[in-house]
Structure 1
Amino acid sequence: MLSFQEKEAIIAKFPELTRKEVSMGRVNYHYEESLHEKKIVVRHLHENGNGFVYVGKLPQYEADKKGFINIRDFSAEELEEVLAESVRYLSSDPAGEPVNEAWINREGTELHLKEENGYFNLYYGENLEEGFDSAKEAHLYLKEEGFRLKSGGAM
């Protein structure tokens, strides 16, 4: 587990985040340029290493009802990746653009999920593999098949 200081050093790589001290020795980091109502990216980072990062509705994470995930046991790489994804998410238009995502499995196979005419189509290269009625249904299928959203997955 990374220490509080190690986590703060990783968070410091994101100059767009503003440090704010809160009660009981905890720290929050805000993204003031957020296009969403939510501005807190890191919540209640504590000296014991516990804390939470806002991931909203990003499909590759199982967030609590407020959109946060616990980062207590994250590696440096995992923490840096989730922070980048959180900032990217909060920088996107909350009205939402059509889904256009890249997903990858352990073997390196890449599939692309595209929202087209109200449907969510899954492509392997130029070939249509599957069609879904909702992004949630497509995301569930992809996860069950061992795929994860590719880092920087929006296309």
Structure 2
Amino acid sequence: MLTFEEKLSIIETFPELQRKDVSLGRVNFHYPESVQEKKIVVQHLHPNGNGFVYAGHMRKKDTDRKGFINIRDYDEAALKELIQKSMDYLSEPAVEIEEEDNEFARLEGTWLGREKQELTLIREDQLWNVYSGSNLEECFESPIEAERYLLDEGFRQSRKREM
């Protein structure tokens, strides 16, 4: 586990982040260039080495309810990558639902795995659901999360589209 000082040193290599000291010796780092409401990238970095990084780009089940992930046991490379991905995510404008309908409709349909497994991605109400046959596998609040999940799991979109 990296120490508080080591994590602080790593985080400070990102000139885009602004340090904000908070209570109990903890430190937050804000990303003022964020185009989204969220500005905090690192939250409550504690002298004991614990802390959190905003991970809106990750699946909801991998983060806490506010979208943060615990970095207590992260090594240098993993911490740098997580912070960079967080800033990249916060640099993308939030997609309005109406725009989503047009832009992400292409994601709906059959996705094929490495061993020819089939999953189906369907938008239902405000959610993006992944089905294996008639069984619900995963549920996402955004098409970006659904697509990342499918790609991370080794699935590629089938050329034939089901609707």
Question: CA separation in 2, counterparts of 1:82 and 1:122?
Answer: 27
What TM-score results when the alignment is normalised by the length of structure 2? Answer: 0.65
Identity percentage of aligned residues: 47
**Larger-Rg structure:** 2
Contact 1:32 1:39 in 2 (8 A): yes
- The answer to whether 1:49 aligns with 2:49 is yes
Contact 2:30 2:42 in 1 (8 A): yes
Contact 1:57 1:63 in 2 (8 A): no
Given the superposition, is the C-alpha separation of residues 116 and 70 from structure 1 closer, same or farther in structure 2, using an over 3 Å criterion? same
1:37 corresponding residue in structure 2: 37
More helix by share: 2
- What's the offset of the Cα at 1:136? 5.4
- What's the offset of the Cα at 1:119? 1.3
Q: Deviations over 1:64-100 (max 9, x none)?
A: 11000100000111100100000001000112686xx
Q: Which runs of 4+ in 1 moved over 3 A?
A: 114-118, 120-124, 138-143
- Please, what is the CA RMSD of the aligned residues? 3.0
| Gapped regions of structure 2 (runs ≥ 5) | 131-145, 156-163
Given the superposition, is the C-alpha separation of residues 85 and 61 from structure 1 closer, same or farther in structure 2, using an over 3 Å criterion? farther
Given the superposition, is the C-alpha separation of residues 59 and 31 from structure 1 closer, same or farther in structure 2, using an over 3 Å criterion? same
| Residue range with higher mean Cα deviation, 130-139 or 26-35 | 130-139
What is the DSSP-based 3-state SS (H/G/I as helix, E as strand, rest coil) of the residue aligned with 1:84?
A: helix
Contact 2:60 2:67 in 1 (8 A): no
- The answer to whether 1:22 aligns with 2:22 is yes
Question: CA separation in 2, counterparts of 1:57 and 1:75?
Answer: 19
Question: CA separation in 2, counterparts of 1:50 and 1:42?
Answer: 11
Alignment: residue pair count: 127
Question: CA separation in 2, counterparts of 1:141 and 1:86?
Answer: 20
Amino acid at match of 1:40: I
Amino acid at match of 1:14: F
- What's the offset of the Cα at 1:15? 0.5
- The answer to whether 1:132 aligns with 2:107 is no
- What's the offset of the Cα at 1:117? 3.6
